[in-house]
Amino acid sequence: MPKSSIQNPKSKIQNRIYRVGVDTGGTFTDFVFEAEDGLRVFKLASTPADPSLAITEGLLRIARETGVRLRDIEVIHGTTVGTNALLERRGARAALVTTAGFEDVLAIGRQARPMLYDLNAERPEPLVHASLRFGVRERVAANGEILEKLQERAISALVKKLKRARVESIAVCLLFSFVYPEHERRLAAALKSLKVPLSVSHKILPEYREYERTSTTAINAYLQPLMSMYLKRLQGRTKDLRVMQSSGGSISAEVAASEPVRTILSGPAGGVVGALRVARLCGIKNIITFDMGGTSTDVALCDREGMRMTREASVAGLPVAVTMMGIHTVGAGGGSIARVDEGGSLRVGPESAGASPGPACYGKSSLPTVTDAHLVLGHFGGAGLLGGEWKLDEDRAREALNKLAQEMSAAARRKISAREAAQGVLRVVGVNMERALRMISVERGYDPREFSLVPFGGAGGLHAVALARFLSIPRIIVPPSAGALSALGALTSDVVHDRSRTIMLEAASRNRSLIERAFREMQHEASAALKREGFSDAQQRHEKMLAVRYKGQSFELEIPWTRQTGVAKDFHQAHRARYGYAQEANTVEIVSARLRSVGLIKEIKTKLTQHLPRAGKLAAPQGHAIVYFAEGRRRAAIYARDKLKAGTRLQTPCIVREYSATTLIPHDAKASIDAEDNLIIEL
């Protein structure tokens, strides 16, 4: 793990850079880069209008400090461009081409009410307007039989309509193209003459369920032009560019540009990869990750089986059926704005001050935020952010909290101080984050007492102890440079290609050869793709999974494909573990074969611990400060993270400051440093 940050921007490191991990957040853009003498970390203010500007500035800084040319730097990038475009509806003018009679699949959906008892609940509008949804006469049966051929005159008429519509991108999703893709291929070949990006469903998601497949393909088309332009700007400045995808691996910029739907959780995925790596090398199997940045908080659960994946995700109210980490996001970050609503209640977020204008303490606004609340309560120990590079205006923060306190006083009809208002802001935002943590743990049958909490992001360490107490989590592991862990996760991520194919077979021994053939064909394609990216057979790993259900069920469980045991037996066990029962007399059906192909990246040069050693000598603090905790006013020790030695104990209560993050530890918790500089907090 990184042991230190760049403290002096003028220092010269005359070593060659091999890789740079970049994570773009709502407030800061994080950089972790590999030099011959270890890992180095720094942050720059994000540029939301064009995230590539901050990235370019950071790469130029690395080039100046190291003497390495920009074109010799390999960048692995966690991006929120796709996510933000979906949330803010800033995508392309996209068209949908589908089987005649199914033009309104996006509007009809599943007919599930998002909020059962809300009579005014509204579903999000489809990304493709009704006037841009075109049907073509063709029909294929579920078994692949051609019921109505696609005629050339229908293709010609469609091309003319799309040309008149002046669309910027096209999604092609025919009814049973995952069984018989030839009609989609013919349409794609004809539509190339329009010279706009094409998203074709049998390449994006060759699986059944027409609504989810159509939605996923439409999202891809909606994001494709924006992501292509963004990545093209970055590609011109680096030797090589890879992008984190939602499933936790990276893909080439070319693949990300053509299939941006795979990058919707690109930024948060890097943090989970980094946190899981920290935990595994500490011998910890079960973790809950807690990533709190400037705009949002992302949480995920990882057990001994690794990262929890899903194909049933929903982003901005729209289903996305590609493989994604089971990450849950809430609008709670350091920049979340506090306000009193019409009913007199205190609200925090989801609106964020972001990087511009930022919290009041950044000196450009008067907006009271979570960061301002921490500053007023003394949680930064009298220091700024980024090792002192980023000054904080305490007077401005106090003024913003005073104004909020006046609004709260009027609503409560009693006098409320700025400090009381600040404590209220932290309690409210804490409840929002606790709800997210419960959703991924307790509500899914996991006991938080069996997990360790891994907080990261710039604000993660400030809330970790309170949240762990809410959920009775016994241990917190704060890695070094926690504020840049998402960038580190991107830096260390392998290249991953996910493929799938709907096969609809009974789980019987007579079908083994058909299953093997499906995997063999997918692995041949994946292996060739990885070889084109420079990975030999020895550098590849292929993981085979089956989506399995009882015949008649609507959804599936993923089962590893192995010839040692039967699929049905493995499925019964998995069903019993998930739902508490198994119906062993029922027919077991294999819906899809799924292949995860990994190109193994060379390990970065860092020493990592394999255990959590006992803490020894008490570390001497650098100083003390008056800090307001939830339980009251206390004198807290202040520690500089890079001065703490492995094996030492910390005096509590205390504030642990480092370049990228701050950790707040109350008096009744035990804190120590393990052999690789992880901060271990025992509750």
pLDDT digits (tens, 9 = 90+) for 438-488: 999 998 889 999 999 999 988 999 999 999 999 999 999 999 989 899 999
pLDDT on residue 406: 94
More confident residue, 603 or 545: 545
**Is the pLDDT assigned to residue 653 strictly greater than 50?**
yes
Residue 582 to residue 148: CA distance in whole angstroms: 42
Question: Residue 16 — pLDDT band, cuts 50, 70, 90?
Answer: low
Ramachandran sector of residue 632 (left: φ over 0; alpha: ψ -120 to 50; beta: rest): left
Q: Phi, psi (5° rounding) for residue 145?
A: -70, 135
Q: pTM for this structure?
A: 0.86
Total length of the chain: 683
Question: Residue 7 — pLDDT band, cuts 50, 70, 90?
Answer: very low
Pick the CATH number of 494-599 from 3.40.50, 1.10.3470, 3.30.1490, 1.10.10: 3.30.1490
- For the segment 184-235, what is each residue's pLDDT rounded down to a tens digit? 999 999 999 999 999 999 999 999 889 999 999 999 999 999 999 999 988 8
**Is the pLDDT assigned to residue 9 strictly greater than 70?**
no
Domain segments of the chain as ranges: 494-599, 623-682
Of the candidates 681, 611, 622, 624, the one whose C-alpha atom is nearest the C-alpha of residue 649 is 681
- For the segment 595-614, what is each residue's pLDDT rounded down to a tens digit? 999 999 877 654 333 333 44
Question: Residue 313 — pLDDT band, cuts 50, 70, 90?
Answer: confident
Instruction: State the Cα torsion 349-488-86-235 to the nearest 10°.
Output: 140
pLDDT on residue 610: 32
Question: Residue 167 — pLDDT band, cuts 50, 70, 90?
Answer: very high
74-78 and 19-24: which strand pairing?
A: parallel
Q: Angle at which helices 394-412 and 418-440 pack, to 10 degrees?
A: 80
Ramachandran sector of residue 62 (left: φ over 0; alpha: ψ -120 to 50; beta: rest): alpha
End-to-end CA distance of the chain: 24
pLDDT on residue 36: 67
